[in-house]
């Protein structure tokens, strides 16, 4: 079927979205909007996008579009998503969906009232390596899950006005990188934590730059999560069980390689290459959901987004980042 996408925010992550349009079943990127006209036209020229708007409202009102991908900095998501929902548009919104769980609840309530589809773009969960991990878990290849460990850390360059370090743009490592560690922990544990223990280092600009989290789950299971703008980590994810472990190799949020390691140190490694760049899996899923008349994803439902955000809210609150 024909499926036309609009996009706002033609920045770095939007490049991956445009690249994914080469895959089958993802639709066509038909329109782009930005408050920076030069950036919008450059993006449209590079990716052969038919229509350019310098006004978001015009994109929201474009009846030829079936859905909109919001790829702007996350502190703008709520306002932009509410405006698009008011125009009856289905949405894929870059992670984090909003800055707080309360804002996401407001967004989801608006979507329910309007009967439109909304999903947070947690693209990692749709990748082939995660489907392989799910298959091994279903086969009980590592037995009962007992723990999880993951890290996402790079040394970030100190650029003036960089959104990552700007508190006015909801900067900070947890919302930008740490969200992957939280979301994948929740994905594999399939439960909410009973207790959250965290340590947050606030940098000179007032944002969280290194965060360590322990999530304590029912049945004595625990996840250890690290994220940092200050340190380079191994950037792997390991799920531990009583029969062995599953390792999603670096960089775990965009990995194409996964290993099953037995307690006898036997290793089975599987390569899971992308069709294009990895974004195609979540985009194809959204197109299917909308075609089937769904208002939320069964893979990334509203409650999963909210559960992840409640954890991040508490960590940020405990770190003194908001009241």
256: CATH = 3.30.360.10
28: domain CATH number is 3.40.50.720
Among 92, 118, 144, the domain boundary falls at 118
Could you say which DSSP state residue 308 is in?
H
Pair (97, 170) in one structural domain: no
Expressed as residue numbers, the domain containing 89 is 4-118
Identify the pLDDT of residue 159. Answer: 82
Helix or strand holding residue 304 (H, E):
helix 302-318
Residue 295 lies in a domain: no
Pair (26, 155) in one structural domain: no
Residue 284 lies in a domain: no
Pair (153, 261) in one structural domain: yes
Q: Are 114 and 143 in contact (CB under 8 A)?
A: no
Q: How far apart are CA 256 and CA 8, in angstroms?
A: 28
Length of the chain: 323
Q: Are 32 and 20 in contact (CB under 8 A)?
A: no
Residue 50 lies in a domain: yes
Pair (133, 248) in one structural domain: yes
Pair (185, 157) in one structural domain: yes
Tens of pLDDT, residue by residue, the chain (323 residues): 599 999 999 999 999 999 999 999 999 999 999 999 999 999 999 999 999 999 999 999 999 999 999 999 999 999 999 999 999 999 999 999 999 999 999 999 999 999 999 999 999 999 999 999 999 999 999 999 999 999 999 999 988 678 899 999 999 999 999 999 999 999 999 999 999 999 999 999 999 999 999 999 999 999 999 999 999 999 999 999 999 999 999 999 999 999 999 999 999 999 999 999 999 999 999 999 999 999 999 999 999 999 999 999 999 999 999 86
Pair (212, 103) in one structural domain: no
Instruction: Report residue 33 CA to chain centroid gap.
Output: 21
Pair (150, 259) in one structural domain: yes
Pair (132, 269) in one structural domain: yes
Residue 148 burial (CB count, 10 A)? 25
Token duo for residue 200? 């947050």
Residue 17 lies in a domain: yes
Token duo for residue 216? 């304590």
Angle at 107 between CA 106 and CA 110, to 5 degrees: 90
Computed on alpha carbons and rounded to an integer, the radius of gyration of the chain in Å comes to 20
Residue 316 lies in a domain: no
Pair (158, 266) in one structural domain: yes
Residue 148 lies in a domain: yes
Residue 304 lies in a domain: no
Report the DSSP beta bridge partners of residue 105.
none
Q: Are 182 and 225 in contact (CB under 8 A)?
A: yes
Q: How far apart are CA 19 and CA 9, in angstroms?
A: 15
Q: How many domains does the chain have?
A: 2
Among 83, 118, 153, the domain boundary falls at 118
Residue 229 lies in a domain: yes
Identify the pLDDT of residue 161. Answer: 77
């Amino acid at each position: 079927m024909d499926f036309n996408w609009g996009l706002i925010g033609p920045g770095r992550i939007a490049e991956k979205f445009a690249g994914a349009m080469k895959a089958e079943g993802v639709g066509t990127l038909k329109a782009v909007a930005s408050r920076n006209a030069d950036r919008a036209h450059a993006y449209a020229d590079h990716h052969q996008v038919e229509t350019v708007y310098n006004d978001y409202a015009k994109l929201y009102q474009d009846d030829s579009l079936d859905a909109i991908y919001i790829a702007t900095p996350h502190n703008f998501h709520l306002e932009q998503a509410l405006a698009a929902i008011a125009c009856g548009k289905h949405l894929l919104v870059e992670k984090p969906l909003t800055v707080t769980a309360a804002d996401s609840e407001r967004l989801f309530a608006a979507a329910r009232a309007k009967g439109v589809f909304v999903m947070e773009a947690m693209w990692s969960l749709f990748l082939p390596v995660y489907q392989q991990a799910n298959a091994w878990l279903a086969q009980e290849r590592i037995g009962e899950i007992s723990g999880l460990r993951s890290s996402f850390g790079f040394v970030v360059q100190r650029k003036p006005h960089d959104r990552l370090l700007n508190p006015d743009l909801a900067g900070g490592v947890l919302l930008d990188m740490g969200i992957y560690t939280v979301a994948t922990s929740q994905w594999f544990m399939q439960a909410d934590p009973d207790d959250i223990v965290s340590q947050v280092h606030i940098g000179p600009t007032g944002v969280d730059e290194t965060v360590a989290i322990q999530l304590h789950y029912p049945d004595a299971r625990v996840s250890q999560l690290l994220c940092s703008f200050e340190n380079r980590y191994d950037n792997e994810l390991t799920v531990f069980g009583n029969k062995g472990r599953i390792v999603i190799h670096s960089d775990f949020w965009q990995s194409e390689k996964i290993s099953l390691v037995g307690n006898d140190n036997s290793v089975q490694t599987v390569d899971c290459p992308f069709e294009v760049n990895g974004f195609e899996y979540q985009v194809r899923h959204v197109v299917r959901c909308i075609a089937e008349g769904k208002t939320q994803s069964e893979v990334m439902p509203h409650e999963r987004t909210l559960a992840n955000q409640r954890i991040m809210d508490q960590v940020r609150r405990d770190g003194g980042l908001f009241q």
